[in-house]
Structure 1
Amino acid sequence: MHGTIFTLLKRYVQTQYDHSTWVRLTESVGLSAADFDHKSVYPDEQMYALVGKASEMAGIPASELQEKFGEYLVPDLMYMYQKLLQPEWTTLDMLEHTENTMHRKVRQEHAENTPPVLEVTRLSEDELEIKYVSERRMGALAVGIVRGVAAYYDEADRIAIDPETSEDGQRVYIRVRRLTAAE
Protein backbone atom coordinates (compact mmCIF):
# COMPACT_ATOMS: atom_id res chain seq x y z
CA MET A 1 0.00 0.00 0.00
CA HIS A 2 1.21 3.48 -0.82
CA GLY A 3 3.15 5.31 1.89
CA THR A 4 0.86 8.33 1.66
CA ILE A 5 -1.93 6.25 3.19
CA PHE A 6 0.34 5.27 6.09
CA THR A 7 1.38 8.88 6.59
CA LEU A 8 -2.26 9.96 6.68
CA LEU A 9 -3.14 7.11 9.06
CA LYS A 10 -0.43 8.40 11.39
CA ARG A 11 -1.89 11.91 11.25
CA TYR A 12 -5.42 10.55 11.74
CA VAL A 13 -4.39 8.70 14.90
CA GLN A 14 -2.49 11.72 16.18
CA THR A 15 -5.46 14.01 15.45
CA GLN A 16 -8.07 11.73 17.00
CA TYR A 17 -5.89 10.76 19.96
CA ASP A 18 -2.27 11.88 20.31
CA HIS A 19 1.31 11.12 19.25
CA SER A 20 1.90 8.65 22.07
CA THR A 21 -1.08 6.60 20.83
CA TRP A 22 0.60 6.35 17.43
CA VAL A 23 3.85 5.23 19.06
CA ARG A 24 2.03 2.58 21.15
CA LEU A 25 0.07 1.45 18.10
CA THR A 26 3.11 0.94 15.89
CA GLU A 27 5.13 -0.72 18.64
CA SER A 28 2.27 -3.10 19.44
CA VAL A 29 2.35 -4.47 15.87
CA GLY A 30 6.13 -4.67 15.70
CA LEU A 31 6.76 -1.58 13.59
CA SER A 32 8.82 1.51 14.28
CA ALA A 33 7.04 4.73 15.14
CA ALA A 34 9.32 6.43 12.62
CA ASP A 35 7.62 8.19 9.78
CA PHE A 36 6.60 6.19 6.77
CA ASP A 37 7.98 7.60 3.54
CA HIS A 38 5.05 8.89 1.49
CA LYS A 39 6.82 7.93 -1.75
CA SER A 40 7.34 4.28 -0.84
CA VAL A 41 5.05 1.29 -1.01
CA TYR A 42 4.63 -0.92 2.06
CA PRO A 43 3.21 -4.41 2.51
CA ASP A 44 -0.57 -4.47 2.90
CA GLU A 45 -0.11 -6.64 5.98
CA GLN A 46 1.34 -3.64 7.82
CA MET A 47 -1.83 -1.65 7.19
CA TYR A 48 -4.00 -4.61 8.26
CA ALA A 49 -2.02 -4.92 11.48
CA LEU A 50 -2.26 -1.19 12.23
CA VAL A 51 -5.99 -0.96 11.48
CA GLY A 52 -6.74 -4.13 13.42
CA LYS A 53 -4.83 -3.00 16.49
CA ALA A 54 -6.18 0.57 16.24
CA SER A 55 -9.75 -0.72 16.14
CA GLU A 56 -9.02 -2.88 19.18
CA MET A 57 -7.50 0.07 21.04
CA ALA A 58 -10.45 2.33 20.09
CA GLY A 59 -13.02 -0.34 20.92
CA ILE A 60 -14.73 -0.14 17.53
CA PRO A 61 -14.98 -2.62 14.62
CA ALA A 62 -12.20 -2.39 12.03
CA SER A 63 -14.76 -1.61 9.32
CA GLU A 64 -16.01 1.41 11.30
CA LEU A 65 -12.45 2.64 11.78
CA GLN A 66 -11.73 2.18 8.06
CA GLU A 67 -14.83 4.16 7.16
CA LYS A 68 -13.92 7.03 9.49
CA PHE A 69 -10.37 7.03 8.17
CA GLY A 70 -11.67 7.06 4.59
CA GLU A 71 -13.69 10.19 5.31
CA TYR A 72 -10.64 11.79 6.92
CA LEU A 73 -8.45 11.09 3.85
CA VAL A 74 -10.52 13.01 1.34
CA PRO A 75 -9.37 16.62 1.86
CA ASP A 76 -5.74 15.57 1.51
CA LEU A 77 -6.43 13.41 -1.52
CA MET A 78 -8.35 16.24 -3.18
CA TYR A 79 -5.47 18.60 -2.48
CA MET A 80 -2.92 16.15 -3.91
CA TYR A 81 -4.93 15.66 -7.10
CA GLN A 82 -6.41 19.15 -7.46
CA LYS A 83 -4.88 19.60 -10.92
CA LEU A 84 -6.94 16.66 -12.15
CA LEU A 85 -10.25 17.96 -10.80
CA GLN A 86 -12.68 19.95 -12.89
CA PRO A 87 -14.25 22.99 -11.17
CA GLU A 88 -17.75 22.08 -12.34
CA TRP A 89 -17.64 18.59 -10.83
CA THR A 90 -20.02 17.53 -8.09
CA THR A 91 -19.84 14.47 -5.84
CA LEU A 92 -21.21 12.15 -8.51
CA ASP A 93 -18.91 13.54 -11.20
CA MET A 94 -15.86 13.15 -8.98
CA LEU A 95 -16.74 9.55 -8.17
CA GLU A 96 -17.44 8.80 -11.81
CA HIS A 97 -14.01 10.06 -12.87
CA THR A 98 -11.84 8.75 -10.01
CA GLU A 99 -10.68 5.62 -11.81
CA ASN A 100 -9.66 7.38 -15.03
CA THR A 101 -8.06 10.40 -13.37
CA MET A 102 -6.60 9.86 -9.89
CA HIS A 103 -6.14 6.09 -9.99
CA ARG A 104 -4.64 6.24 -13.48
CA LYS A 105 -2.17 8.92 -12.32
CA VAL A 106 -1.17 6.85 -9.27
CA ARG A 107 -0.52 3.81 -11.46
CA GLN A 108 1.54 5.87 -13.93
CA GLU A 109 3.70 7.46 -11.24
CA HIS A 110 4.12 4.39 -9.06
CA ALA A 111 4.10 1.17 -11.09
CA GLU A 112 4.37 -0.95 -7.94
CA ASN A 113 1.31 0.69 -6.41
CA THR A 114 -2.06 -0.88 -7.09
CA PRO A 115 -5.06 1.16 -6.01
CA PRO A 116 -8.29 -0.82 -6.25
CA VAL A 117 -10.01 -0.86 -9.60
CA LEU A 118 -13.32 0.94 -9.45
CA GLU A 119 -16.00 0.13 -11.98
CA VAL A 120 -18.37 3.07 -11.94
CA THR A 121 -21.64 3.02 -13.82
CA ARG A 122 -23.61 6.24 -14.14
CA LEU A 123 -27.21 5.12 -13.82
CA SER A 124 -28.71 8.59 -14.30
CA GLU A 125 -27.82 12.23 -13.80
CA ASP A 126 -28.51 11.77 -10.07
CA GLU A 127 -27.31 8.22 -9.44
CA LEU A 128 -24.34 5.94 -9.93
CA GLU A 129 -23.03 2.61 -8.74
CA ILE A 130 -19.45 1.84 -7.78
CA LYS A 131 -18.18 -1.72 -7.86
CA TYR A 132 -15.11 -2.00 -5.65
CA VAL A 133 -13.25 -5.28 -5.82
CA SER A 134 -9.91 -5.63 -4.07
CA GLU A 135 -8.02 -8.43 -2.40
CA ARG A 136 -7.10 -5.85 0.24
CA ARG A 137 -10.57 -6.28 1.76
CA MET A 138 -10.80 -2.63 2.75
CA GLY A 139 -14.18 -1.88 1.21
CA ALA A 140 -15.20 0.13 4.27
CA LEU A 141 -12.37 2.54 3.47
CA ALA A 142 -13.93 3.04 0.03
CA VAL A 143 -17.33 3.73 1.61
CA GLY A 144 -15.70 6.30 3.91
CA ILE A 145 -14.00 7.97 0.96
CA VAL A 146 -17.37 8.24 -0.82
CA ARG A 147 -18.83 9.88 2.30
CA GLY A 148 -15.81 12.19 2.47
CA VAL A 149 -16.19 13.20 -1.18
CA ALA A 150 -19.84 14.14 -0.53
CA ALA A 151 -18.72 16.24 2.45
CA TYR A 152 -15.92 17.82 0.39
CA TYR A 153 -18.45 18.98 -2.20
CA ASP A 154 -20.75 20.18 0.60
CA GLU A 155 -23.39 17.66 -0.47
CA ALA A 156 -23.28 15.24 2.47
CA ASP A 157 -26.87 16.03 3.42
CA ARG A 158 -28.07 15.64 -0.19
CA ILE A 159 -26.32 12.38 -1.07
CA ALA A 160 -27.56 8.91 -0.13
CA ILE A 161 -24.88 6.23 0.09
CA ASP A 162 -26.04 2.62 0.19
CA PRO A 163 -23.20 0.09 0.41
CA GLU A 164 -23.55 -3.67 0.13
CA THR A 165 -20.40 -5.36 1.34
CA SER A 166 -19.42 -8.99 1.07
CA GLU A 167 -18.57 -10.68 4.35
CA ASP A 168 -14.86 -10.60 3.66
CA GLY A 169 -14.91 -6.94 2.57
CA GLN A 170 -13.39 -7.81 -0.80
CA ARG A 171 -16.43 -6.72 -2.82
CA VAL A 172 -18.47 -3.62 -2.21
CA TYR A 173 -21.28 -2.26 -4.34
CA ILE A 174 -21.93 1.34 -3.44
CA ARG A 175 -25.04 3.01 -4.78
CA VAL A 176 -24.75 6.79 -4.59
CA ARG A 177 -27.64 9.06 -5.44
CA ARG A 178 -28.49 12.72 -5.12
CA LEU A 179 -31.64 13.16 -3.07
CA THR A 180 -34.56 15.10 -4.49
CA ALA A 181 -36.10 18.00 -2.59
CA ALA A 182 -39.00 15.75 -1.56
CA GLU A 183 -36.74 13.16 0.10
Structure 2
Amino acid sequence: MHGTILTLLKRYVQTQYDHSTWVKLVELAGLDRVDFDHKNVYPDEHVYALVGHAAEMTGLPAGELHEKFGEYLVPDLMYMYQKLLRPEWKTLDMLEHTELTMHHQVRKEHAENSPPVLEVTRLGPNELMIDYVSPRRMSGLAVGIVRGLAVYFDEADRIDVMPTVSEEGERVRIHVRRR
Protein backbone atom coordinates (compact mmCIF):
# COMPACT_ATOMS: atom_id res chain seq x y z
CA MET A 1 0.00 0.00 0.00
CA HIS A 2 1.30 3.41 -0.94
CA GLY A 3 2.56 5.43 2.02
CA THR A 4 0.30 8.32 1.04
CA ILE A 5 -2.76 6.19 1.80
CA LEU A 6 -1.37 5.25 5.21
CA THR A 7 -0.49 8.87 5.94
CA LEU A 8 -4.05 9.90 5.05
CA LEU A 9 -5.44 7.03 7.14
CA LYS A 10 -3.51 8.40 10.11
CA ARG A 11 -4.95 11.87 9.51
CA TYR A 12 -8.45 10.41 9.10
CA VAL A 13 -8.24 8.60 12.45
CA GLN A 14 -6.84 11.69 14.17
CA THR A 15 -9.58 13.89 12.65
CA GLN A 16 -12.47 11.54 13.38
CA TYR A 17 -11.17 10.43 16.78
CA ASP A 18 -7.84 11.66 18.17
CA HIS A 19 -4.09 11.05 18.12
CA SER A 20 -4.19 8.58 21.00
CA THR A 21 -6.63 6.43 19.00
CA TRP A 22 -4.10 6.30 16.17
CA VAL A 23 -1.30 5.32 18.54
CA LYS A 24 -3.52 2.59 20.04
CA LEU A 25 -4.37 1.24 16.55
CA VAL A 26 -0.70 1.09 15.62
CA GLU A 27 0.09 -0.77 18.86
CA LEU A 28 -2.79 -3.23 18.37
CA ALA A 29 -1.69 -3.82 14.77
CA GLY A 30 1.80 -4.69 16.01
CA LEU A 31 3.44 -2.05 13.84
CA ASP A 32 6.73 -0.53 14.90
CA ARG A 33 6.08 2.91 13.47
CA VAL A 34 3.43 5.55 14.02
CA ASP A 35 4.40 7.54 10.93
CA PHE A 36 4.64 6.39 7.34
CA ASP A 37 6.65 7.98 4.54
CA HIS A 38 4.43 9.01 1.64
CA LYS A 39 7.18 8.05 -0.82
CA ASN A 40 7.39 4.41 0.28
CA VAL A 41 5.23 1.37 -0.27
CA TYR A 42 4.17 -0.76 2.70
CA PRO A 43 2.63 -4.22 2.98
CA ASP A 44 -1.15 -4.27 2.50
CA GLU A 45 -1.34 -6.13 5.79
CA HIS A 46 -0.66 -2.83 7.58
CA VAL A 47 -3.94 -1.40 6.35
CA TYR A 48 -5.82 -4.65 7.05
CA ALA A 49 -4.55 -4.69 10.63
CA LEU A 50 -5.24 -1.00 11.27
CA VAL A 51 -8.76 -1.09 9.81
CA GLY A 52 -9.50 -4.44 11.47
CA HIS A 53 -8.61 -3.09 14.89
CA ALA A 54 -10.49 0.14 14.17
CA ALA A 55 -13.57 -1.98 13.40
CA GLU A 56 -13.19 -3.77 16.73
CA MET A 57 -12.74 -0.49 18.60
CA THR A 58 -15.68 1.30 16.97
CA GLY A 59 -18.04 -1.61 16.47
CA LEU A 60 -18.41 -0.63 12.80
CA PRO A 61 -17.86 -3.23 10.06
CA ALA A 62 -14.49 -2.94 8.29
CA GLY A 63 -16.28 -2.43 4.93
CA GLU A 64 -18.14 0.56 6.32
CA LEU A 65 -14.90 2.05 7.66
CA HIS A 66 -13.29 1.54 4.24
CA GLU A 67 -16.20 3.44 2.65
CA LYS A 68 -15.94 6.32 5.12
CA PHE A 69 -12.19 6.50 4.57
CA GLY A 70 -12.69 6.41 0.78
CA GLU A 71 -15.02 9.40 0.99
CA TYR A 72 -12.48 11.21 3.16
CA LEU A 73 -9.67 10.61 0.65
CA VAL A 74 -11.28 12.39 -2.29
CA PRO A 75 -10.30 16.05 -1.66
CA ASP A 76 -6.66 15.06 -1.13
CA LEU A 77 -6.63 12.84 -4.21
CA MET A 78 -8.16 15.60 -6.30
CA TYR A 79 -5.52 18.02 -5.07
CA MET A 80 -2.64 15.59 -5.67
CA TYR A 81 -3.72 14.82 -9.23
CA GLN A 82 -5.20 18.16 -10.26
CA LYS A 83 -2.71 18.62 -13.10
CA LEU A 84 -4.10 15.46 -14.76
CA LEU A 85 -7.75 16.50 -14.52
CA ARG A 86 -9.91 18.56 -16.82
CA PRO A 87 -11.90 21.40 -15.26
CA GLU A 88 -15.11 20.37 -17.02
CA TRP A 89 -15.10 16.86 -15.54
CA LYS A 90 -17.74 15.92 -12.98
CA THR A 91 -18.35 12.69 -11.08
CA LEU A 92 -19.01 10.33 -13.99
CA ASP A 93 -16.21 11.82 -16.08
CA MET A 94 -13.73 11.38 -13.22
CA LEU A 95 -14.72 7.76 -12.81
CA GLU A 96 -14.47 7.14 -16.53
CA HIS A 97 -10.96 8.62 -16.71
CA THR A 98 -9.44 7.48 -13.39
CA GLU A 99 -7.70 4.44 -14.86
CA LEU A 100 -5.94 6.36 -17.63
CA THR A 101 -5.06 9.40 -15.53
CA MET A 102 -4.50 8.87 -11.81
CA HIS A 103 -3.94 5.10 -11.72
CA HIS A 104 -1.61 5.34 -14.72
CA GLN A 105 0.40 8.04 -12.92
CA VAL A 106 0.63 5.99 -9.70
CA ARG A 107 1.92 2.96 -11.61
CA LYS A 108 4.40 5.14 -13.51
CA GLU A 109 5.82 6.77 -10.36
CA HIS A 110 6.02 3.61 -8.29
CA ALA A 111 6.40 0.34 -10.17
CA GLU A 112 5.75 -1.66 -6.99
CA ASN A 113 2.38 0.04 -6.55
CA SER A 114 -0.65 -1.76 -7.84
CA PRO A 115 -3.84 0.25 -7.65
CA PRO A 116 -6.82 -1.83 -8.71
CA VAL A 117 -7.66 -1.93 -12.37
CA LEU A 118 -10.97 -0.28 -13.07
CA GLU A 119 -12.94 -1.35 -16.09
CA VAL A 120 -15.43 1.44 -16.65
CA THR A 121 -18.22 1.09 -19.17
CA ARG A 122 -20.21 4.17 -20.04
CA LEU A 123 -23.83 3.04 -20.40
CA GLY A 124 -25.11 6.47 -21.41
CA PRO A 125 -24.53 10.15 -20.71
CA ASN A 126 -25.77 9.78 -17.12
CA GLU A 127 -24.79 6.24 -16.26
CA LEU A 128 -21.78 3.96 -16.02
CA MET A 129 -20.67 0.64 -14.61
CA ILE A 130 -17.37 0.09 -12.83
CA ASP A 131 -15.92 -3.39 -12.56
CA TYR A 132 -13.38 -3.34 -9.75
CA VAL A 133 -11.31 -6.43 -9.10
CA SER A 134 -8.55 -6.52 -6.52
CA PRO A 135 -7.06 -9.26 -4.37
CA ARG A 136 -6.81 -6.61 -1.62
CA ARG A 137 -10.54 -6.98 -0.94
CA MET A 138 -10.95 -3.28 -0.27
CA SER A 139 -13.92 -2.68 -2.51
CA GLY A 140 -15.50 -0.53 0.21
CA LEU A 141 -12.73 1.99 -0.40
CA ALA A 142 -13.73 2.20 -4.08
CA VAL A 143 -17.40 2.66 -3.20
CA GLY A 144 -16.45 5.38 -0.72
CA ILE A 145 -14.34 7.17 -3.33
CA VAL A 146 -17.28 7.14 -5.76
CA ARG A 147 -19.52 8.67 -3.09
CA GLY A 148 -16.79 11.13 -2.16
CA LEU A 149 -16.47 12.27 -5.78
CA ALA A 150 -20.21 12.94 -5.89
CA VAL A 151 -19.86 15.11 -2.77
CA TYR A 152 -16.75 16.82 -4.16
CA PHE A 153 -18.56 17.77 -7.37
CA ASP A 154 -21.69 18.81 -5.43
CA GLU A 155 -23.70 16.03 -7.06
CA ALA A 156 -24.32 13.81 -4.03
CA ASP A 157 -28.06 14.43 -4.15
CA ARG A 158 -28.18 13.41 -7.84
CA ILE A 159 -25.79 10.43 -7.94
CA ASP A 160 -26.97 6.91 -7.11
CA VAL A 161 -24.23 4.44 -6.20
CA MET A 162 -25.29 0.80 -6.25
CA PRO A 163 -22.47 -1.62 -5.37
CA THR A 164 -22.68 -5.38 -5.73
CA VAL A 165 -19.86 -7.11 -3.87
CA SER A 166 -18.95 -10.76 -4.33
CA GLU A 167 -18.79 -13.04 -1.31
CA GLU A 168 -15.01 -13.15 -1.23
CA GLY A 169 -14.85 -9.35 -1.51
CA GLU A 170 -12.39 -9.30 -4.42
CA ARG A 171 -14.90 -8.13 -6.97
CA VAL A 172 -17.33 -5.27 -6.90
CA ARG A 173 -19.51 -3.96 -9.64
CA ILE A 174 -20.53 -0.38 -9.00
CA HIS A 175 -23.45 0.99 -10.96
CA VAL A 176 -23.37 4.79 -10.91
CA ARG A 177 -26.24 6.86 -12.27
CA ARG A 178 -26.91 10.60 -12.35
CA ARG A 179 -30.58 11.43 -11.91
- Which of the five TM-score ranges fits, normalised by the shorter chain? over 0.9
- CA offset digits 1:42-75 (Å, max 9, x no partner): 0011110111001111110000000000000000
- Structure 2 residues without counterparts, runs of 5 or longer: none
1:172 aligns to what SS in structure 2? Answer: strand
Normalising by the residue count of structure 2, what TM-score does the alignment of the two structures yield? 0.99
Q: CA deviation at 1:32?
A: 3.0
1:68 matched residue in structure 2: 68
One-letter code aligned to 1:66: H
- Does 1:124 pair with 2:113? no
1:133 matched residue in structure 2: 133
Q: CA deviation at 1:7?
A: 0.3
CA distance in 2, matches of 1:32, 1:159: 41
- CA offset digits 1:67-124 (Å, max 9, x no partner): 0000000000000000011000010000000000000000000001000000000000
1:173 matched residue in structure 2: 173
> Please, which moves more after superposition, 24-33 or 13-22?
24-33
2:120 aligns to what SS in structure 1? Answer: strand
2:149 matched residue in structure 1: 149
One-letter code aligned to 1:70: G
One-letter code aligned to 1:2: H
CA distance in 1, matches of 2:34, 2:28: 14
CA distance in 1, matches of 2:137, 2:119: 16
Aligned residues: 179
CA distance in 2, matches of 1:96, 1:44: 26
CA distance in 2, matches of 1:9, 1:151: 19
Preserved contact between residue 2 and residue 40 of structure 1 (Cα < 8 Å): yes
Q: CA deviation at 1:33?
A: 4.4
Following superposition of structure 1 onto structure 2, how do residues 1-183 of structure 1 map, counting pairs within 5 Å? 1-179=1-179
Q: CA deviation at 1:14?
A: 0.2
CA distance in 1, matches of 2:16, 2:118: 29
- CA offset digits 1:16-45 (Å, max 9, x no partner): 000000000100111134310001000011
Identity %: 75
Question: Structure 1 residues 88 and 97 mapped into 2: Cα distance closer, same or farther (>3 Å)?
Answer: same
One-letter code aligned to 2:177: R
CA distance in 2, matches of 1:34, 1:165: 32
CA distance in 1, matches of 2:131, 2:98: 12
- Structure 1 residues without counterparts, runs of 5 or longer: none
Displaced runs of 4+ in structure 1, greater than 2 A?
A: none
1:6 aligns to what SS in structure 2? Answer: helix
